[in-house]
Amino acid sequence: MQVEGLSINLATIREQCGFAEAVDVCLKHGITAIAPWRDQVAAIGLDEAARIVRSNGLRLTGLCRGGFFPAADAVGRDKALDDNRRAIDEAAALGADCLVLVVGGLPGGSRDIDRARRMVEEGIAAVLPHARAAGVPLAIEPLHPMYAADRACVNTLGQALDMCETLGPGVGVAIDVYHVWWDPNLANQIARAGRMKAILAHHICDWLVPTRDMLTDRGMVGDGVIDLKGIRGLIEAAGFLGAQEVEIFSAENWWKRPAAEVIATCVERYRSCC
């Protein structure tokens, strides 16, 4: 039976499966919405990945990822822009709802986070005409402040929405509960995102106490402290009724379990917790 409203980000079973195998596991559990990563697509080939998507009637709630705009010199910045244009083309070929942007942190040797944020805005502006022409919305994903130096210097939903307002149509946000649950201004910013019609994706997992690794110790839905139902209520009140996308990086737990067990657990927890 099809599981409505649930998407699986394929990072959740990236250590167990390639793209085709991951799709098969999802389909066997009634899931027809996925969000792959570009390396997973590249491993099987873009044309074959697109064929699998079309032949199975899959919806892609996003493609991960573009971004990483800041660089120490013009050569690095141009390289990032070229890669983002390729990512946009890949998202278009796959029919993805959006291209998720993990925007990048401080350039090497820099301590100027304000300049890094300006580089992000300038970078998105530079590729935005290409994205608009391809019909691919760009979803800025604010990341938890612990990633500000190396992965994303955009750390709150408010900062991301400020950029959306400056950049205009074709740019929105991906709201990942792992990164924003702590923000005391979250409810107001979700409501603001709704007024802007800027919510493009909603990612879910959980925050474990203790968290043993900054990157690869995300919790299964329901195993941590995030108010998943409360945040979802705010997001739906803001007008976004799209799928909830489970995205779990878990080197010492879920990546070591059989893929079928992981996906079955995602389905059960989605039904009971979300």
Q: Residue 69: inside a domain, yes or no? A: yes
Q: Residue 221: inside a domain, yes or no? A: yes
* Number of domains into which the chain is organized: 1
Task: Please give the Cα distance from 47 to 257 (Å, whole number).
Answer: 30
At how many degrees (to 10) do helices 157-167 and 113-134 cross? 50
Task: Please give the Cα distance from 274 to 270 (Å, whole number).
Answer: 5
pLDDT score for 250: 98
pLDDT score for 212: 97
pLDDT score for 207: 98
Closest CA to 269 of 201, 220, 212: 220
Q: Residue 158: inside a domain, yes or no? A: yes
pLDDT tens per residue across all 274 residues of the chain = 899 999 999 999 999 999 999 999 999 999 999 999 999 999 999 999 999 999 999 999 999 999 999 999 999 999 999 999 999 999 999 999 999 999 999 999 999 999 999 999 999 999 999 999 999 999 999 999 999 999 999 999 999 999 999 999 999 999 999 999 999 999 999 999 999 999 999 999 999 999 999 999 999 999 999 999 999 999 999 999 999 999 999 999 999 999 999 999 999 999 999 9
Enter the tokens of residue 65: 């990822």
pLDDT score for 63: 99
Q: Residue 1: inside a domain, yes or no? A: no
Q: Residue 117: inside a domain, yes or no? A: yes
Q: Residue 91: inside a domain, yes or no? A: yes
Determine contact, residues 250/217, Cβ cutoff 8 Å. Answer: yes
Determine contact, residues 87/38, Cβ cutoff 8 Å. Answer: yes
The predicted model scores a pTM of 0.98
Task: Please give the Cα distance from 63 to 10 (Å, whole number).
Answer: 10
CATH number reported for the structural domain that contains residue 102 in this entry: 3.20.20.150
pLDDT score for 1: 81
Determine contact, residues 238/191, Cβ cutoff 8 Å. Answer: yes
pLDDT score for 135: 98
pLDDT score for 61: 98
pLDDT score for 258: 98
Q: Nearest 5°: phi and psi at 182? A: -80, -15
Q: Provide the residue range defining the domain that includes 264.
A: 6-273
